[in-house]
Amino acid sequence: MNKFKFTANNIAARLLEVAEAFGLPAKNKILFENYGKYLFEIQLILKNLEDGTRILDVGGGMGVNLLCIQRLVNQDLKLHLVDRFEEYTEENRMGPSDRGLKLMGEAKISVITQDFWLNAKLPFKSDFFDVVTIFAVIEHLPGHPLRLLREIGRVLKHNGKLILGGPNSVSLVKKVKLFFGKHPYIPFDLWIADKYYSHYREYNRKEYRRLLELSGFKHIQTIMSLEHSKTRALNRYRNCKHGLFTPITMGLYGIYISHILLPSLRPSIYCIGEKI
């Protein structure tokens, strides 16, 4: 039975510590853009932890979620992360990859550098992990993610959990962009740049469920999340970027309230699937 119970304030305090460790500008990105997203994902992971849990974060980048969990639990967890780290340079707001790798090394998080699109074979034996997370990853793949998701199923133990999250392809903001003749998620200048790290294909709630079903997962739960709209609405004013009653702040709050009232149009979707 899961005995790791932490309040939102507990998690927030550790998230602040991790953000401080990265320094600016990563701190602002963590706390003022992705704050609620990290809180939500960490809470999802904690609900599925027990003593000795082995966790793998696929595409976890600089390891913010695992760094927070390590500081919260500080017990016999085995934390692993796989990513390619190519985009983490001095120009990236999260900073160069060596900063995150150093922090993860100090936290005894095992890190493997691998492009899991070019090589979907994960370097772990079968039935090894209790929990695998993959957040904001599959929309970046230049093809369908079934090969990778089935490989995740291979390395999960019996009754192990996959926790997947990504953007909602039919969110309110995307519908508004289409209404005004804009591409819903690919900025043109980014698309034609030398290196492209944005979204190739996003999915709706039904499609996320279907992906997990086709990959062999059962007992699938889906959760429509208010992030990132909630964080952006709350922090735009708190971060002193705009006044409370300016058009931008009021517009962000309008989007946030719309997402509360219309769950199917929320910006993010999370799925939990079990290996049977």
Structural domain total, the chain: 1
Distance of CA 29 to the CA centre of its chain: 14
Nearest to 162 by CA among 209, 202, 114: 209
Give every residue of the chain whose pLDDT is below 70, as ranges: 1-4, 194, 196, 236-245
Is residue 140 in some structural domain?
yes
Q: Residues near 6 by Cβ (< 8 Å), separated by ≥ 6?
A: 46, 72
Is residue 81 in some structural domain?
yes
The predicted pLDDT at position 237 comes to 47
The predicted pLDDT at position 76 comes to 77
Is residue 1 in some structural domain?
no
Is residue 2 in some structural domain?
no
Is residue 3 in some structural domain?
no
Angular region, 219: left φ>0, alpha ψ -120 to 50, beta rest: left
The predicted pLDDT at position 236 comes to 59
Query: Token pair 């074979």 is at which residue?
Result: 121
User: 203-238 pLDDT, tens per residue?
Assistant: 999 999 999 999 999 999 999 998 877 787 777 545
CATH number at residue 237: 3.40.50.150
User: 43-87 pLDDT, tens per residue?
Assistant: 999 998 877 789 999 999 999 999 999 999 977 789 999 999 999
The predicted pLDDT at position 1 comes to 47
Q: Which domain holds residue 147?
A: 8-275
pTM score of the predicted model: 0.92
Q: Residues near 212 by Cβ (< 8 Å), separated by ≥ 6?
A: 149, 162, 164, 220, 271, 273
Check: CB of residue 153 under 8 Å from CB of residue 216: yes
